[in-house]
Structure 1
């Protein structure tokens, strides 16, 4: 299937070719927003942007891949799954404009990692403190389920992002089992050694990964995803979420006030 994107005038084809050449996160983020490597995802994200949800009919959807969000020298990273069709795919910023983001940013604010508890648009004044949010898949997938091939095609973006964050990155908080499984090969492609057997996902699961470059190790923390399925049923409570980020701050060497 040959799907030419309508919302991108200068598309990037293969992330494996484009990502390694990014000299900094600003350049990488710009390349990510022009990615057109996965025809099914291009078609879906742009269809959603055309059709829209009734509540957002008067808004212009982003409808492109979503770059990471947060300072380039962050010590903590959050790795999710993929953008939501009417959240980040609408607003253009990770976890912005949906109920999952409402829960996430409130917790980040309460532990001092975000400047405010709400995230509604890229122009809402929200800034992150010492934490950056990213994902293994950058486009909204149908039914929130990217294929293994789409996940693997997207991998070089995250590999390069973590490479560029390497001087300061100390902790990665992974939201959900899919993100955990998708991240482990990314870490192996970067500079960290993934233990054998591979660490299993769980809420507050913790693994320390040594670095192959002789630098500081990386702490991997598991957290149930901030999906409505988890937060509405109480599988993930606000207290549980705060505890994860408090632990991340401790592992990064930051005060937990």
Structure 2
């Protein structure tokens, strides 16, 4: 997994995303001018033998450093696109260029993986081709996204969850109770609770 994560962190496949992330790291927001910016793709993190995989951006309320206290047990978090894009909108080509990383991650996790939570409709669409490319039997037609959707996939339960974006949380489309409900159900399916 360390080799995979290093490969992701060194990726330069998408010129627009490379230019954007490196520009943001150079320019910085005034409020964070004295901070060191990562300026590279963000690899997955968490257990290398995870029973539960969360696909999408999710973390504690604030994360400022690698050693900021976030701990995961039996869980790994990754993203369908590892670079933060301008306006948070990756292109279909950028999504597709990042997919081989997800295929590798799923392949590495498959022996112990029991559940996957996919955050958001974008993540849902981006995810389904990856297990197919990793050799898993994927339902046809692909399952439609919805909050709380549960789909069996070769011994792994896949759950849909609204993304934890500000838009969803500020409007109440996704409440803490809704998020906890999906995560609890997925944790039970993974054998973590």
TM (normalized to structure 2)? 0.96
* Residue 177 (structure 1) aligns with: 121
Cα deviation 1:183-239 (Å, max 9, x = unaligned): 0000101132111121110100010012xxxxxx11110000000000111111111
The list of structure 1 runs, each at least 4 consecutive aligned residues, that deviate by more than 4 angstroms after superposition, is: none
Query: Is residue 2:178 matched to residue 1:240?
Result: yes
Partners of 1:137 and 1:150 within 8 A in 2? yes
| Structure 2: unaligned runs, 5 residues or longer | none
The structure 1 residue matched to 2:51, chosen from 66, 75, 81, is 75
The structure 1 residue matched to 2:35, chosen from 40, 55, 59, is 59
Shift of 1:57: 1.2
* Residue 111 (structure 2) aligns with: 167
Determine the C-alpha separation between the residues in 2 that align with 1:250 and 1:95: 19
Query: Is residue 2:101 matched to residue 1:157?
Result: yes
Determine the C-alpha separation between the residues in 1 that align with 2:58 and 2:137: 29
Determine the C-alpha separation between the residues in 1 that align with 2:153 and 2:8: 27
Q: What does residue range 28-43 of structure 1 map to in structure 2 within 5 Å? A: 28-43=4-19
The structure 1 residue matched to 2:152, chosen from 198, 208, 212, is 208
Query: Is residue 2:123 matched to residue 1:147?
Result: no
**SS of aligned partner of 2:76:** strand
Cα deviation 1:35-78 (Å, max 9, x = unaligned): 11110000000111111112211101000011101010110001
* Residue 107 (structure 1) aligns with: none
Shift of 1:124: 1.4
Partners of 2:74 and 2:192 within 8 A in 1? no
The structure in which a higher percent of residues are strand is 2
Determine the C-alpha separation between the residues in 2 that align with 1:135 and 1:119: 16
Q: What does residue range 1-150 of structure 1 map to in structure 2 within 5 Å? A: 25-80=1-56, 95=58, 101-102=60-61, 119-150=63-94
The number of equivalent residue pairs is 193
Determine the C-alpha separation between the residues in 1 that align with 2:173 and 2:146: 12
Determine the C-alpha separation between the residues in 2 that align with 1:203 and 1:34: 33
Determine the C-alpha separation between the residues in 2 that align with 1:238 and 1:79: 18
Shift of 1:95: 4.7
TM (normalized to structure 1)? 0.73
**Structure showing greater Rg:** 1
